[in-house]
Structure 1
């Protein structure tokens, strides 16, 4: 309320007026969330806000903490004991709260903020019965728990709530009875999305807090600023402080993160990944400043935090004796990257990690899946790209060896092309010999077969999806060309289906 109105109400008391410190509120909530992340659930986050205000909030600041408790409840025996442990952690910090457990984030938020729940003596513990409120929605009955709540509990904008009130919609139960198509047309998709999030039809991601890094540095500016030259200078200092301990460990930065706290807008996290580990301060600074160029500063920066998310051992690199800087450079320069790595880092910072990609030969014998592309600066993606073979390979009748120069064609089609096979050789009594076409129609031309090698069989495992069974052949044609064809053995058609997959010359 305005100060003048509050002064009138408090005229007969010794009231003390304090200016609201939004930054202190955010920091206290963040510290509380970190404590719950360490003692209750590793997947803990501060509620995510959108641009519009909801539920009659006069200020648009986060006021709640959410946690994913799937998989941790058994550590506290049951959900009631988990709530009791959480309440105890809050009491240690001097806080009391309203708690709710539900199948969805939206339902838990609605119950914690608006449900008329009686204190749960079993979960409250000593002295907490009259100060905390608890509500547990039974599994699978989220909609039933929401029916008596007002529509505002679904985190709707004030304008949407006012419109629903004019229409006589006073509960979530009434709202759920209305057709979604009409709601989307008259009140927008935002309302339908909120309903879907609360009922579990639409997933809502929990952005878990990052675990504090051992290699981090924080600076709270005495005077908030948006001057980039000043921010760049402070970034350089913080990067040096955050990476100082890595020098003695001979480890370099692979992923660095910068968190910015603003005076009048939500915090922003900027992250840069590197192709190879480095401790080059100027390079790390340029990457962070490049990340700044893609984000407009909504208000003045009040706090800057740099922490190293991922690091790896450094490798020594001696400068070339033919290089121009050989005389002045250290001959064992283990803090810097190669020029190629610096270029990859710069491009990834400006274009995005997913846009600068490399290729490698994968373990999948299926030809069209044998080449894997990956973000060159994302080491987490690189580690997941090396998977176990998803197919097995079986060769008979002259299957090529790994040392065979003609094992794979020089040109591989992106997708196999269907071709027509003509006539077949008479079947031999030899079990290892099978009928084979004497000619193929490829790109409108009939081409006779002179010689062939194979088959080389490739088939998928049954647990990896639809069955793929192919017999590959290297075929020499009458005009001298060599092609790579296969017969689809998994086809349901009675007739064999042939495909062209590559050219040897």
Structure 2
């Protein structure tokens, strides 16, 4: 087996920057007591101002006040780790959050699906970058070794035990995952690299150090298995973004909305499911939250489509007060069945599947503006269809062609040059419900070349009555 360790060195900062409207502006995470506030993490723009992690907020304000402060929240780190674990679950069934700010996933079993490791690694990096998280990735024969090697390497891929022992031997002792007291003791003995520690007799190490030291070394070398608790994705999605300032316009809400729907799409992909209903919650200062339900007729999970549908619903809303936080909840997560498409599509960029077009129209125009039609078992044309039928629909019965445009009321056909192309086709029906009709229908063509469907009552006289037009 081969395990990948994805180390997320600035997870808390990345979690803030990915929802910030302008991540290029100077920003700092602060922590500590009210009496002593300390800078915990900084983006590159803040470091360019001369600020540094560990600096007191008072000293930072002496240098400059031109930076944004955000409270460091350890709970958000756990939240982002859970989100990334859900994302990683689509690539491997064995994903672990054993170590803070990193993901462990078994990757060798996935090579047959995602290709060899260089291609697989490129995809992981591409998607992590799109999600907005900086990272380092290392592969090793066991998860503990992968985690330790990620302290010093990025992009390292260790294939076997010999390479693993060599790579571990080059690791500094103070970065090998040992307890601080043991690492300090080895340094005082003049042992700077792990290969020097591994060269010591086991009896000497066992006599002078706690048993956990040898256990850790054996785990790194793969001689002692590491028990891991594997991640399992939850049954619902719930993500909240607290905005840095109160938002009053729909346009300013699109940035967090895009991030929320992208995270929802990543979560759905890991569960191999879609979403049929989700709710947007707009939180206000002094008013109850505003809920924006988004419903789909079928399960979907494409990020761009989810964003467009939610955007259409949001733009119809009159926001009653400035928005302080944005939340997306999705609990109806049915199985997702991918759409069948042709292998060779001539113009995929100019085509839009009917399901997506239908949902976009419903989002833009409202649920009551888009309706579906279905056939009914009735020969009378005005009764042969129904609107918004529920359940599976039976196919149209075989028979003569019918016009695509049926007039609301038949109208006399005054054109004397009308030519009859086919007919008559007699329809006698409706005696049981009081709507008895007895008609002879004809396929006609006008002087301008239009084809219509006209009838005359049985044994009746007068002009033909036009009932519909053919496309």
**What TM-score do you get using the length of structure 1 for normalisation?**
0.35
Higher relative contact order (Cα pairs below 8 Å, separated by 6+ residues)? 2
The alignment's TM-score, normalised by the length of structure 2, stands at: 0.37
